[in-house]
């Protein structure tokens, strides 16, 4: 019952309560201003108030428009919609179309109010779609259990979470077991079983069981809060099409004024000029793109895909080349030692493993972890290194029991002057070379399995229009080819240093390709930064991954890349629809009708609401509409 109640609460954003939150004091003042102006315009039309009262009402209605317009003019040196509407109203009022001018202003104010309210509703939907975090936690202490405000929970506190409740903190499980719905963070539809030692995230839901969680992060430091902040800040990173719309709006207004002056000189009809001013307003142009970007970014976040701005959304839609790192991206990142070959009688396999594991024990590289793990499995005693140095793209250099030990690829040994007796390559296996005191000691072969669903994910990307898939790796060519053959990759580049990966991406860009790089967000940070779009996988628990890339996948599911691209392409198409239909077609028809004398200012003002509503509805549908692959 608790789970059902929680699901019902978290899945619904009640319009009434949402509207109450959005209707701030300032908005109620705006509503009062609109009602007052409209009422006085009606009374003047019925000849119940004098002209001076109507002028007062118009001044009250225009005040916020003039204030905002002058700020834009002074600070940003641009003529905005507010100035445009003000001039249109004043031209109508003092040009003999007094009632039409007042009604025009009221309708424009209503349109602006609806547009702002709906934009804020779209922003608010980000949190409602992702979820929320409880503000009270049940903390367990020596004195028993007590409810504590979330702001008072400290690092290290043990928090108890039962079935049907949301987890309020980031932490690790110290007791109990439960099935946890991690969809708010990772977008995964299937709950994950959690036991002692597992990580859990704030905002996720315990569907069954109960957990004791030791608090690691709370409040703004949690992954959930970082996601919310990132998605909200994404609105400030404008897409090129959004910048173009803003530029067009800025130079369109002076052109429109010139056009209206010409029309007046030809027709001498102030009524036609006022009507045209309504249909040449660039208001919808400014609205056409931001709403789409907000909706698309919120939709992606709900599916465990964090997009840091409209710029990257548009870039992903236009990408034609995908570049992948191999280890941990295309492979499952669970490498295991499959065999050990001694190449020197002085170093039998057990001794070779002991020295290699000692050199690798401080390294975070997946291959190093595999060596250390295998030594533990074989119950080999591994000493601490006396000195340790990791060489990016090569391996490690360590001193163990006063012996100089090199563990890494063949390039490390060659550059250190170690003679290799024979090439150590095996298709599908990665050779880790070991040298001791300048002598080639042997090779440890490590294999990694392909990531589940990788082949299908790459096939989906090609179906979406990706023309070229490239794999970059520091591994040897034989291992890289085995992986590429299993996944249908077009091109491989092996034995690369991190700077070589950057050069490879730059080369693809020089060839005219728009490149997206997919990596782990830490080791591949330079390449991620160089690509048109950097995509980091598995950001569910790493601050580095959240900061390194333009787009972060909260799980290691490669299919989410195709999902992110599907959302990006749908968003870009929606922007084009808004600009063409919501702005272009409606305004062209309106201008034509005005020039033909078929409609006047009041009819134009009413029709003007149409594009606003059309653009809004078309934009926010991205929050709910079915998108293949998402």
How many angstroms separate the CA atoms of 628 and 630, rounded?
6
Report d(CA 383, CA 381) in Å as an integer: 7
CA angle 10, 14, 17 (to 5 degrees): 115
DSSP 420: P
Looking at 157, 170, 325, 550, which residue is catalytic?
Answer: 325
- By DSSP bridging, strand 321-325 and strand 468-472 are parallel
Cα separation, 147 vs 352, whole angstroms? 55
Q: What is the DSSP letter of 315?
A: H
Distances (CA, A) of 47 to 40, 90, 235, 316: 10, 21, 48, 59
Residues, the chain, total?
Answer: 630
The pairing of beta strand 533-536 with beta strand 551-553: parallel
Euclidean distance between CA atoms 481 and 121, whole angstroms: 50
Ramachandran angles phi, psi of 11, nearest 5°: -90, -10
**What is the C-alpha to C-alpha distance for residues 359 and 342, in angstroms, rounded to an integer?**
17
| CA 196/CA 55 separation, integer angstroms | 72
Residue matched to tokens 């102030």: 270
- For residues 594, 596, 599 and 604, what is the CA-based torsion angle, rounded to 10 degrees? -20
Q: Which of 309, 306, 291, 298 is nearest to 245 (CA)?
A: 291
Q: Rounded to the nearest 5 degrees, what angle is found at the Cα of 182, between the Cα atoms of 169 and 212?
A: 40
> Around 198, how many Cα atoms within 13 Å sit in the side-chain half-sphere?
16
Tokens 């950097």, located at residue: 534
DSSP 8-state code for residue 416 = T
Q: Are 623 and 125 in contact (CB under 8 A)?
A: yes
Can you list the pairs that 387-390 forms with residues at least 24 positions away whose Cβ atoms lie under 8 Å?
Answer: 388/359, 388/362, 390/362, 390/363, 390/365
Q: Known catalytic residue: 72? A: no
Determine the straight-line distance between the first and last CA of the chain, rounded to whole angstroms.
Answer: 30
Give the pair of three-digit tokens for residue 128: 């409602």
DSSP state of 413: H
Other Cβ atoms within 10 Å of 615 Cβ, number = 29
Task: Decide if 314 contacts 522 (C-beta within 8 A).
Answer: no
* Structure tokens belonging to residue 316: 């992903």
**Catalytic (active-site) positions:** 325
């Amino acid at each position: 019952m608790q789970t059902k109640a929680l699901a019902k609460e978290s899945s619904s954003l009640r319009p009434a309560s949402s509207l109450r939150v959005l209707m701030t004091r300032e908005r109620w003042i705006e509503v009062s201003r609109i009602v007052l102006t409209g009422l006085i315009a009606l009374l003047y039309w019925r000849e119940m108030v004098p002209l001076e009262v109507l002028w007062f009402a118009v001044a009250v209605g225009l005040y916020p428009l003039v204030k905002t317009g002058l700020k834009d003019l002074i600070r940003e040196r641009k003529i905005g919609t507010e100035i445009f509407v003000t001039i249109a109203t004043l031209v109508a009022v003092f040009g003999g179309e007094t009632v039409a001018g007042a009604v025009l202003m009221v309708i424009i104010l209503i349109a602006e109010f609806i547009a702002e309210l709906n934009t804020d509703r779209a922003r608010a939907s980000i949190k409602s779609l992702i979820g929320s975090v409880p503000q009270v936690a049940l903390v367990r202490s020596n004195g028993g259990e007590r409810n504590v405000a979330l702001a008072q929970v400290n690092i290290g506190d043990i928090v108890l979470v039962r079935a049907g409740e949301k987890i309020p903190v980031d932490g690790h499980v110290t007791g109990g077991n439960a099935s946890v719905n991690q969809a708010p963070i990772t977008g995964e539809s299937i709950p994950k079983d959690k036991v002692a030692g597992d990580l859990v995230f704030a905002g996720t839901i315990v569907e069954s069981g109960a957990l004791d969680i030791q608090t690691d992060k709370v409040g703004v430091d949690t992954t959930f809060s970082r996601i919310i902040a990132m998605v909200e800040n994404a609105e400030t990173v404008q897409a090129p099409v959004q910048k173009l719309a803003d530029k067009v709006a800025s130079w369109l207004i002076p052109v429109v004024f010139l056009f209206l002056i010409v029309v007046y000189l030809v027709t001498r009809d102030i009524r036609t000029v006022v009507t045209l001013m309504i249909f040449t307003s660039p208001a919808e142009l400014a609205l056409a793109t931001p709403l789409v970007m907000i909706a698309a970014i919120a939709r992606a976040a709900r599916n465990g895909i964090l997009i840091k701005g409209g710029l990257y959304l548009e870039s992903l839609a236009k990408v034609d080349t995908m570049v992948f790192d191999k280890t941990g991206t295309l492979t499952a990142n669970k490498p295991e030692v499959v065999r050990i070959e001694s190449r020197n009688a002085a170093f039998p396999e057990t001794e070779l493993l002991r020295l290699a594991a000692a050199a690798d024990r401080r390294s975070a590289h997946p291959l190093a972890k595999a060596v250390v793990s295998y030594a533990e499995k074989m119950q080999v005693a591994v000493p601490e290194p006396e000195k340790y140095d990791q060489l990016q793209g090569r391996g490690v250099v360590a001193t163990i029991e006063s012996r100089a030990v090199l563990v890494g690829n063949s390039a490390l040994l060659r550059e250190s002057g170690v003679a290799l007796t024979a090439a150590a390559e095996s298709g599908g296996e990665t050779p880790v070379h070991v040298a001791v005191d300048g002598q080639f000691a042997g090779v440890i072969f490590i294999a990694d399995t392909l990531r589940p669903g990788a082949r299908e994910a790459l096939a989906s990307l090609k179906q979406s229009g990706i023309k070229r898939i490239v794999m970059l790796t520091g591994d040897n060519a034989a291992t890289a080819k085995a992986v590429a053959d299993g996944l249908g990759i077009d091109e491989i580049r092996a034995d690369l240093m991190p700077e070589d990966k950057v050069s490879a991406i730059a080369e693809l860009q020089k060839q005219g390709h728009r490149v997206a790089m997919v990596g782990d967000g830490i080791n591949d940070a330079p390449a991620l930064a160089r690509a048109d779009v950097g995509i980091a996988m598995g950001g569910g628990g790493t601050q580095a991954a959240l900061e390194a890339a333009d787009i972060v996948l909260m799980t290691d599911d490669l299919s989410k890349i195709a999902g992110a691209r599907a959302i990006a392409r749908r968003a870009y198409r929606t922007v084009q629809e808004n600009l063409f239909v919501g702005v272009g077609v409606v305004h062209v028809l309106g201008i034509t009708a005005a020039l033909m004398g078929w409609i006047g200012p009041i009819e134009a003002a009413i029709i003007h609401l149409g594009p606003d509503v059309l653009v809004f509805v078309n934009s926010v549908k991205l929050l709910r509409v079915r998108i293949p692959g998402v």
